[in-house]
Every structure is written in structure tokens, then in C-alpha cells.
Amino acid sequence: MAQNEEIKVINGEAFKNMCYGALNRLEDQQSYIDSLNVFPVPDGDTGTNMLLTFKEAVENLDKAKSERIDRLTQALSKGALMGARGNSGVILSQLLRGFSEANKNNRVMRNDDLINSLSKASKIAYQGVLKPVEGTILTVARKAARRAEKLEDEKNIEVFLEKVIETAHKALNKTPDQLPQLKEAGVVDAGGQGYLTILEGMKAGLTGKVEVREEVKEKREIKEEVAEELKYGYCTQTLINVKEQNVNIDEIKNDIEQFGDSLMVVGDDDIIKVHIHTNHPGIILEYALKTGSLRDIKIDNMRMQNAEMRKKHEEEQKEDFEQLKDESTEDYEEKLIKSAKSEQLDRKVGIIAVAKGKGIKNILMELGVDLIIDGGQSMNPSINDFVEAVEQMEQEKVIIFPNNKNIISAAQQASSLSDKEIKVVETKAIPEAIAALLVFNDNKELDELRSSMEEEISYVKTIEITNAVKDSKVNGFEINEDDVIGIVNGDIRAVGNSEIEVISDLIDEVWEDEDLITIYYGDGASQQDAEEIKKKFQAKSKEAEVEIYKGGQPLYPYIISME
Amino acid sequence: MVKEINTEYGKILIAEEVIETIAGLSAMECYGLVGMSSKNMQDGIADLLGWDNLSKGVSVEIEEDAVNIILNIVVEYGTNIHEVANNIIERVKYTLKNRVGIEVESIEINVQGVRIGNGTE
């Protein structure tokens, strides 16, 4: 294998290049890392925080008028300290402090300084936390340091870094097994990915292979669609019956690791096992032939495996769906209901709504909602419920109606976790979603669509009638347990002993010549009562059109919309 | 005081102590925090508290619907204290909201001490 000149010493200039390389690489991967962020707080900002922290560190590095490693690492560390943002940023600043402390009085950096740097970085980073959580950037940093400590003999820094990166990558891939939050979301740790990215960038910066930047961008496109590991398509394995003695396993590793990743070469004097993910299984086998005869050759197309898995998943979902359809309508109370309408599947924009009550769900589905998450007042769906629902959607663009002010934030958090384009239309009640659905237009951009929906919502007045569950004092109303409360657009506006009484008070108070009134009656209310309410409205205006639907919602005997 | 949450089926009452412990534990998972310091401290000595009495460094005040939390912490030397405090606020808020279902009105952080780790020369 053609080798460039070996790099054994890192001088000031080389170190700067390493930092620039890392910064470039972080910039490229920022949004990917953001998308991984589910722990400790799933706010999708790890990539941004690490980038901003590192950026400030590098800016400070530029200011240091020195070519000495000790001054430079110190400047880097100080910049990171000042610029630290977020949990991952603070950890990164401590890692860099470790780098700086390991290089006191060093003009240049060699193998042993690098080992020192990595282990000091890990050590200092661990000191800063009382209760280290495994499966995070700390784990990745520690495992990388452990590997580095075993590489005393690897004087070629390029190879050294490559090996450390390999270990860091493996550690990163294990993070979902260590931290359940990651597993649940199906991601690796964001901070860990950030550290790996920095190491990779440093190596790229060191070797001067700056084209990395474009290259990575392309790879990321693929990553977003398929899984990260699928940079290489074929899992290639073979056993080699070694014909000559004294085969050097490390030599084999070195020679073929350029062709892929997940490389494993193990064995003894007689037999060697090679495992690699590569795009060129042929080259690997040809190479192996030079070493000896081959057996148990196995080549799997991992991209197809992945596609097959996806297909299987889809089929399972379809089966679930068929089952749901077969079961009686009573089972609408199932947590998730999918729509059968094939014309909806052709739409570019998918719609998810949170609702409770059979009648209301049916109405929403008829108006074009693809998927309903069961929930509402006192039954807030989790962020994960939203993420799952979004994943189930065929469409890449999704609109969510939370239909309750307490659910809006969960929906928004979920939207920041997904790769799909998601807009949360902040509906606080079912009638708002119904009004918004009437202006749905599949051809509009999501932003435009959301603002037109929100405009429509502003014309709707929603009255909700419910019962007080405890004594309290709100909006100047003295409320006793079991009182009937009338809520208009989220504010308590009337309190009384009977529903009819409260509703007539409210009608008097908020009537503004609306011409379309819709009454959804729920649990604890009857068609007759609703007819009574209809009469109250008709007494206000002869022209107003009043419709009555059985909503079946719990907790709210009546939800009334006026527009 | 206890925190009351009303649900469809009845009330949930959450004792101050519970909120203290959860706030304390989630804060302790935050990077940069290396100890809690007793809230009853009058002499100004920030004593590092162990696991058993970690909630001593946390005080919770519940008034009507509002929950206010005060955390007395010790941080690691060399970290950006301002940012660490911010992270703790964010973390505690998030955990209480998600695990307990409580919206916290305010979180006050008192940095009572700095620990100089033994890896630092």
C-alpha cells in the first residue's frame, strides 16, 4: 500500500490545521448531531452547542501568537471555557482543558503527548460530574483514551488517530445499549457523535485531506435517508487458511482498512478471519487470496437487508391496520387510528391530530386527518407518541394539531426531533382544528399553510363546558367542586350549577352575530339537551345555522364552536 | 405544602420531599455540578453533601400552583459556571415536567463553592 510520508510530530501549524479540520467537520455535521439529541434534554441543540463552543475555541486559538503546542492548546481550552454552551459544550471545554494540561511546556506533540492528552481529557472530563451517566460523550472519550493508552508503539500519528477513531466509533455505536433514552429514540448519543466528529476532523486536518468537507456533505445526504453505517454496502467475511508462516495481522488490517469500515481481522498462525463493510468485496477477496486459500466466504448486501427490514416493518404496520379495520368501531378507542383513505396517502402533507371521543375522531378523519393520537385534557400524549406517529406517516411534511394548550409543547419538541418537516398548528381545542382543516391546501408550503390555518383559527370562538374538580379561585370566579365551568377560548368565563344555565350566560356574553354554530355533545350529555342549546342560539339569531354532532368526548359534556 | 395535580379520576398529591429528591438527582446528573451544599448553612462553609442527604441542598417552595426551587451547589473548577447553572435549570425543569408533570415557576441556583479536582496541577 502506498504510504504518504509518516507524520510523527505535530507542530503548531499542524495542530491548528487539526482544529480547523475539526471545526469544518462539526459545521458539516451540526444538523445531523442536533437531530440525535434526546438526552439529557431532548431539545435538539447538541450539534449547535458543540459547534459554537468549538468555534469560539478556534477563534481564540487564532489570536494566540505562537506556534508552541502548549500556548495553542491553552488558547483553545480557554476559548472553549468562555464559549461553552449547553451541557455538551461544557464537557467539550473540559476535554480541551485536559488537552491543554497534558501539553504544558510542550513545543510539539508526539505519540506519547497525544496519549497523555486523550487520557487527561477523559480524566478531567469525568471529574466534572458527580454521577457520570454511561452512554454519553464521556463514555466515548474514555474508551478512546483507553485505546490510545495501548498505542504507545504507534508512532505514526495518522494511523494512531485512525485506530482511536475506530474505537470511538464502536463506543458510540454501543451508546444506545447503555442509555435507554437513546435506544427508545433509535439514535446514538449526540455528544458522543460530536466528539467522534471532532477526532475525525482533526485527523483530516492533520493529513491535509481537506476535500473531506464536500465529501462529508454528500455522505450526509445518504445518512439522512439510510442508516449511518451504510456508507459501505457489503458486509464481507472470509476465513483464510494461511499458507505461509509469520503472517502479520496488523499488516493485513493496515492494507485493507482503506476499503471500508467495521474492520475486524483476528486469527493465529493457521487461520485468519476477516470481516469488513466495504463497497468492493472483490478487492478484499483478491487481497485475502494472496495470504492463503479462502473458505466460508460470506457477502451480504447490507443496503438490501436494510430495505428488506423496512419492507417488513411496513407490512407489519399494514397488518395492524387491517386488523384495526376488521374490528368493530368500538375499537376506535385504540391508541392510534390510521386512515384508510387512499387519496389521503397521495397527499404531500400528512396531518396528525390529538383527540378523544369517537364522534370527534370520526369528524376529524373525514376532514382529512391521517392519524389520531388518543389524548386530551388530563391525558397528554408523550413526546414519544408524537415521534412514533410522525414516523408512521408516509409523508415527509407533517402538520400536527395538539388541540390542547398543554400538549403544544410536547408536539413541538417532537417536531424538533424528527428529520421530517413538521409544523405544529397551535390549536387549543377541537373546533380550532376543524376550522383549520377547512383551509387545508396540499400545494402550499408548510409555513404558508400554517399561517393561513392560524388566521382561520382566530375567527373561531370555542366554548367548552366542563365540571370543576376542586375548589379554587380563578379569574375572579369563586369555584366550588362540581360546579359547571364555561370556558371560552381557554379562559373561564362563567360558573354555575347547570350546563344549560352556564351556556346561556356565555351566549349572552360572547355572542357576536356568528352564523355557524356547531355543538359537539360528549359523555354525560344527550341529543335532547343539545337541541335545547340549539334553541338558545336560534333565539339569538334566526339566520344562524346550528349543527349538532355526537362527539363522545369525555370530561367536556359540550364543546361548541361559533364562527 | 404539597403539590396538587387534579386528574380525571382524582387528585395526586406530591410531597415537597419528592420534588426535592427528584430535583436534586436530576441536577446531580448535570455536567459540572460536583456537590450540593447544605441549605441551612449559616457559617459559610460549603460542605459537600453525600448521596443520602442530597435533598438538603434543595429547597422547594409550593404556593398554590407555583413551584419554586432553590439549589445550593458546588461546581467543578474550570467549568463555565454560568453555563453549568443554566444547564442545571434546564435539566431540572425538564425532568420535573416530564417525570412528575410539574411546571416549575422558578429555579434559583446558589453556587456555594468550587471544587478543585485532583487531576489539576
ipTM of this model? 0.74
Does position B94 have pLDDT exceeding 60, yes or no?
yes
Strands A371-374 and A349-355, by their bridges, are parallel
CB contacts of B4 in chain A (<8 Å) are 470
- In terms of residue numbers, what domain contains B99? 58-116
CB contacts of B117 in chain A (<8 Å) are 124, 127-128
| Integer Cα distance of B97 and A518 in angstroms | 35
Of B8, B35, B83, the CB nearest to A130: B35
Of B7, B28, B79, the CB nearest to A128: B79
The reply to whether B49 falls in a domain is: no
CA angle A304, A308, A310 (to 5 degrees): 115
Q: 75-134 in A: which are within 8 Å (CB) of B?
A: 81-82, 84-87, 89-91, 93-94, 97-98, 101, 104, 120, 123-124, 127-131, 133
Strands A516-521 and A545-550, by their bridges, are parallel
**Which ranges in chain A are annotated with CATH 3.30.70?**
234-301
Cell 400554517 sits at which residue?
A450
Q: What are A344's three cell numbers?
A: 389521503
Q: Pick out chain A residues at pLDDT < 70.
A: 1-4, 209-230, 245-246, 262, 264, 266-269, 302-346, 377-378, 474-475
Closest of B18, B23, B69, B30 to residue A40, by C-alpha: B30
Q: What are B120's three cell numbers?
A: 489539576
The reply to whether B76 falls in a domain is: yes
| CATH number of the structural domain spanning residue B93 | 3.30.429
Of B79, B120, B121, the CB nearest to A90: B79
DSSP string, A266-310: EE-SSEEEEEEEES-HHHHHHHHHHHEEEEEEEEEEHHHHHHHHH
CB contacts of B118 in chain A (<8 Å) are 127
Which CATH number does A330-458 carry? 3.40.50.510
Return the number of other C-beta atoms located less than 10 Å from residue B9's C-beta. Answer: 8
Contact check, Cβ <8 Å, B8/A378? yes
Closest of A289, A250, A254, A293 to residue A270, by C-alpha: A293
pLDDT in tens, B45-54: 445 555 555 6
What confidence score (pLDDT) does residue B120 get?
Answer: 46
What one-character DSSP code corresponds to residue A317? Answer: H
CB contacts of B27 in chain A (<8 Å) are none
Chain A to chain B Cβ contacts (< 8 Å): 89
Of A91, A98, A470, the CB nearest to B31: A91
What confidence score (pLDDT) does residue A170 get?
Answer: 92
The reply to whether B47 falls in a domain is: no
Contact check, Cβ <8 Å, A131/B29? yes
**Which ranges in chain A are annotated with CATH 3.30.1180?**
461-562
The reply to whether B77 falls in a domain is: yes
| Integer Cα distance of A561 and B34 in angstroms | 54
CATH fold, domain A461-562, is Hypothetical Protein Tm841; Chain: A;domain 3 (3.30.1180)
Any idea which architecture A234-301 has in CATH?
2-Layer Sandwich (3.30)
Average pLDDT over every residue of B92-104? 88
The reply to whether B94 falls in a domain is: yes
CB contacts of B76 in chain A (<8 Å) are 94, 127-129
The whole model's pTM is what?
0.48
The reply to whether B7 falls in a domain is: no
**Which ranges in chain A are annotated with CATH 3.40.50.510?**
330-458
Contact check, Cβ <8 Å, A379/B8? yes
The reply to whether B1 falls in a domain is: no
Using a CB–CB cutoff of 8 Å, tell me whether B103 touches chain A: no
Q: Which of A78, A105, A127 to mutate to test the interface with B (most CBs of B within 10 A)?
A: A127
Contact check, Cβ <8 Å, B32/A120? no
What confidence score (pLDDT) does residue A2 get?
Answer: 42
Closest of A138, A175, A185 to residue A42, by C-alpha: A185
Of B6, B34, B121, the CB nearest to A470: B6
CATH fold, domain A12-225, is 1.25.40
| Structural domain total, chain B | 1
Assign B118 a pLDDT band (cuts: 50, 70, 90): low
